Structure 1
């Protein structure tokens, strides 16, 4: 079998029945029997891609769409990829609304009474309706005069890690992988949060402070879409990895170049344009789906 479809649902909403797996197998060419990775929650269905009459690469995303249609609305994610290259050695992740459940700049804006205004700009930027860099400058300018101490309060009181993130990072690192948190957010957040999750490194933007107050500026150049892509290419070259060895995840338009250039780029609860363009998408499962996608069984996860 040269390809595999991995089906994953949310840990609190198991939905993988024998009947559902059989229905999906019917739309996979030459499908074999499912291999359970976690009963009721995650399974592989190996299948063989038929010989093509052209040199065009197999459209794994289109096959995942066909498998998703066969689910008939069941809350299950589908990732289709070649079997031979499913294990990854480099992981890059966005932070806001991906590895954590919040947008940090929106939480900062809440302390100056501008969360609704800033959130609206954030949403448009993540949808790709606004260029990321000027949108970030505009939002940061609204934070001028804010006491930098609120960052610690936000991390302690408001930030929640996305379920499955620590297990994902720790398992990949245990098995020799390298993990980088690459964010359009700010180092005052990515530093502590990367340590909480277990990343090897973090890259993000630097908020300018004057004494204990934010100056309303961000250091240039801004880390945005091109910088995220550059980080992927740099780390891949540093470790001598092949394109297929890389995995990336994100939710916004500034993640798209990174996702498209990864061996497997995954859109997480993503904006429509991102979900449509990424290699795979997660709409239901938590981040352990990226371990199942690599063929891990639940008992193989790092604690």
Structure 2
């Protein structure tokens, strides 16, 4: 058995019952269950529809996300999340670069790296090198003034924790940011790279080894073994090329507002919903959400 989930941006509530009913009828689905009025609904299917991706493309033009997944085991026991442009709305290194006066140069490298056009490690060291000499105190300034949480993050982490789930924040960014964001959202642990500083100034380098694509896969393996879970028990979320390894290994890998080159390699794509989409995909109704 499979489950088809339709959802939309919670600020727009643009999911129409006639649309859901017509798709259920066309696919011969079971009764529609509304997880949130005008926002998210699901119905069961006995098999995968042949025209799933054609319908998906049509719905994208209507601001609606569609995910079809196996019904068995979709409620997960662990969340593994990227941070930049996933749990927060910014790329931390880009914000630091703006403060250092090299914003445009760094943003171009970031975009190319996230699209998979550049190797992550080389792109990271090149960008960090441009921050050499920046006052270390700027990190706190950026955290206070420039970093905002992605909508739905507190509900996602809070609901999974309330239901016995474990949450890990694993980023190719920096520990100074993951520590703050992880604590604010209620993550159980966080992993990232360490910006090096001397005399209150950034040295233009990061600690080794550099945490990139493989390190996210390693985190998935290590944490699941430690907790006695299987990789199928994990829901992972990210947006960039360096997230593809963990997204492919996790039981459910969600490409959230991802770069097109990344999204096309993932079966679960959320382009319109926020982080609460990960709860709807697990069958949680909005009435079951818990915020930290």
TM-score range normalised by the length of the shorter chain:
over 0.9
Secondary structure in 1 aligned to 2:171? strand
Q: Which residue of 1 aligns with 2:259?
A: 271
* CA separation of 1:11 and 1:25: change in aligned 2, threshold 3 A: same
Structure 2: gaps of 5 or more residues: none
Could you tell me whether the CA contact under 8 Å between 2:114 and 2:242 is conserved in 1? yes
Q: Which residue of 1 aligns with 2:40?
A: 42
Q: Alpha-carbon deviation of 1:176?
A: 0.6
1:22-43 residue CA offsets vs partner (Å, 9 max, x unmatched): 2322443x31121101110000
In 1, distance between residues paired with 2:225 and 2:25? 40
Q: Which residue of 2 aligns with 1:17?
A: 16
Could you tell me whether the CA contact under 8 Å between 2:17 and 2:38 is conserved in 1? no
Secondary structure in 2 aligned to 1:4? strand
Structure 1: gaps of 5 or more residues: 50-57
In 2, distance between residues paired with 1:135 and 1:63? 39
Which of 197, 200, 225 is the matching residue for 2:188?
200
Secondary structure in 2 aligned to 1:85? coil
1:37-92 residue CA offsets vs partner (Å, 9 max, x unmatched): 1110000111111xxxxxxxx6x8x7642442453721111121111111000111
Q: Supply the RMSD in Å over aligned alpha carbons.
A: 1.4
Secondary structure in 1 aligned to 2:264? helix
Q: Determine if the alignment matches structure 1 residue 127 to structure 2 residue 115.
A: yes
In 2, distance between residues paired with 1:296 and 1:268? 18
Which of 235, 244, 248 is the matching residue for 1:256?
244
Return the TM-score normalized by structure 2.
0.96
Q: Which residue of 1 aligns with 2:275?
A: 287
Q: Determine if the alignment matches structure 1 residue 217 to structure 2 residue 209.
A: no
Could you tell me whether the CA contact under 8 Å between 2:83 and 2:170 is conserved in 1? yes
Q: Determine if the alignment matches structure 1 residue 152 to structure 2 residue 117.
A: no
Q: Alpha-carbon deviation of 1:215?
A: 0.4
Return the TM-score normalized by structure 1.
0.93
Could you tell me whether the CA contact under 8 Å between 2:214 and 2:245 is conserved in 1? yes
